Amino acid sequence: MTENIYISWLNYLGGLEYFLYTAQKEYDIDIEETGEVTTNIFPNWPESYGQNADTIKKQTFRNSRNRILVRSQHLTFDQVQELSAIRTSPLVQIIESRTNRRTVLVDVESFKVYDEGEKLYTMEFYVSFTDPIPSQSV
């Protein structure tokens, strides 16, 4: 079962545009930053077992966000041209209900508009939620 995503974005005239994406999505977790620390467990140990023989590496924190790979259904060339404005919009939101909108960030590096020579056009891009996933640090 595919879940439809209704997206709105601020256009260059200051109004909002809307589109319902009905193709299959991919739900993912984007790891934005991690911290590592190296601990020397035998500070006076001779280096007879190799370069890193007396150290332990461990992660101390992780910053991550939920993200979705949004794909469109088949589009006309004119629809692709209009929907590509999502990439340049400063405000993109997923509409969850009449009263609930969730702001997302469009990953402009992942934005694929179309390939030359296609007969059926599709569009895909990642959106990341603005709230981080709660995590612990050590």
**Inside any domain, residue 54:** no
pLDDT at 108: 81
Total domain count, the chain: 1
Place of tokens 């467990």: 41
- Cα separation of 14 and 99, whole Å? 20
**Inside any domain, residue 51:** no
- Residue 127: which residues within 8 A CB-CB, separation 6 or more? 7, 67, 68, 70, 92, 94, 104, 105, 106, 107
Domain containing 16 equals: 5-33+61-129
**Inside any domain, residue 72:** yes
The per-residue pLDDT string of the chain (138 residues; one tens digit each, 9 = 90 and over) reads 567 899 999 998 999 999 999 888 999 998 888 888 877 776 666 554 555 566 777 888 888 999 999 988 888 888 988 998 998 899 999 999 889 999 999 998 888 777 777 778 888 899 999 988 887 777
Please give the distance of CA 94 from its chain centroid, rounded to a whole number. 13
pLDDT at 112: 79
- List pLDDT tens digits, range 34-65: 888 877 776 666 554 555 566 777 888 888 99
Look at the alpha carbons of 127, 71, 120, 83 in this order and tell me if their dihedral is positive or negative: negative
**Inside any domain, residue 39:** no
pLDDT at 120: 82
**Inside any domain, residue 123:** yes
pLDDT at 45: 60
**Inside any domain, residue 40:** no
At 6, list the tokens.
Answer: 């209704």
Q: Read off the amino acid at residue 27.
A: Y
pLDDT at 46: 59
**Inside any domain, residue 21:** yes
